[in-house]
Amino acid sequence: MLQKRRERLLAAAELKEPDRVPMMGFAGDIVAAYAGFTSYEVHYDFDKARQAAVKFLQDFPSEMSLAGLFGVNNFVPALIFSDSPDLAQGLSIVSGPVHDILKDKYSRFPGRELSENSSSQFIGGTYMQPEEYDEFIADPVKFSFEKVLPRTAENLKDICSPKAMATMIRLGMEMSSQGEKTRAMFADLMQLGIPPLPMGFGYAPLDYIADYLRDIPNLIMDLRNYPEKVKAAAEATVEPIFNLAITAKAMGSPFVFFPLHLNEYLSPRLYKEFYWPTLKELIVRLLDEGIKSHVFFEGRHDAHLETILELPKGWGIAYFEKTDVRKAKKVLQGHTCVCGGLRASLVIGGTPEENDRYVKELLEEVMPGGGFILAPDVAALPRETPIENLRAVYEAVERYGYY
Distance CA 92, CA 78 (A): 5
Query: Which class is 2-72+84-92+182-400 in CATH?
Result: alpha beta
Give the β-pairing of 93-94 and 107-108: unpaired
Is the pLDDT confidence value at 236 over 70?
yes
Instruction: List all residues 6 or more positions away from 231 whose beta carbon is below 8 Å from its beta carbon.
Output: 273, 274
Distance CA 23, CA 375 (A): 6
**Higher model confidence: residue 185 or residue 335?**
335
Per-residue pLDDT, 261: 94
- Give residue 330's pLDDT band: very low, low, confident or very high (50, 70, 90): very high
Name the residue among 95, 98, 39, 44 with its Cα closest to residue 71.
Answer: 95
**Higher model confidence: residue 123 or residue 88?**
123
**Lowest mean pLDDT: which of 34-43, 86-95, 109-118?**
86-95
Per-residue pLDDT, 8: 95
Helix boundaries (H) for 145-246: 149-152, 162-191, 205-208, 216-225, 227-245
Per-residue pLDDT, 345: 96
- Give residue 156's pLDDT band: very low, low, confident or very high (50, 70, 90): very high
Burial of 36 (0-12, 13-18, 19+ CB in 10 A): exposed
Question: Does residue 170 contact residue 163 with C-beta atoms inside 8 Å?
Answer: no
Is the pLDDT confidence value at 343 over 80?
yes
Question: Does residue 350 contact residue 392 with C-beta atoms inside 8 Å?
Answer: no
Describe the strand order of the beta sheet including 372-376 as a list of residue ranges: 200-201, 255-260, 292-297, 316-320, 337-342, 372-376
Phi-psi region at 111: left, alpha or beta (left = phi > 0; alpha = psi -120 to 50):
left
Is the pLDDT confidence value at 197 over 70?
no
Per-residue pLDDT, 91: 84
Q: Where are the domains of the chain?
A: 2-72+84-92+182-400
- Give residue 71's pLDDT band: very low, low, confident or very high (50, 70, 90): very high
Per-residue pLDDT, 82: 85
Q: What angle do CA 306, 307, 308 make, to 5 degrees?
A: 85
Q: What is the pTM of this model?
A: 0.95
Instruction: List all residues 6 or more positions away from 154 whose beta carbon is below 8 Å from its beta carbon.
Output: 102, 103, 104, 105
- Give residue 138's pLDDT band: very low, low, confident or very high (50, 70, 90): very high
Mean pLDDT in residue range 220-225: 98
Q: Compute φ and ψ for 371, nearest 5 degrees.
A: 65, 35
Question: Does residue 293 contact residue 316 with C-beta atoms inside 8 Å?
Answer: yes
Q: What is the rounded radius of gyration, in angstroms, for the C-alpha atoms of the chain?
A: 21
pLDDT one-digit tens code per residue, 85-94 = 777 777 888 9
Mean pLDDT in residue range 289-311: 97
- Give residue 198's pLDDT band: very low, low, confident or very high (50, 70, 90): low
Mean predicted lDDT score pLDDT of the chain: 95
- Name 316's bridge partners: 293
Mean pLDDT in residue range 216-226: 97
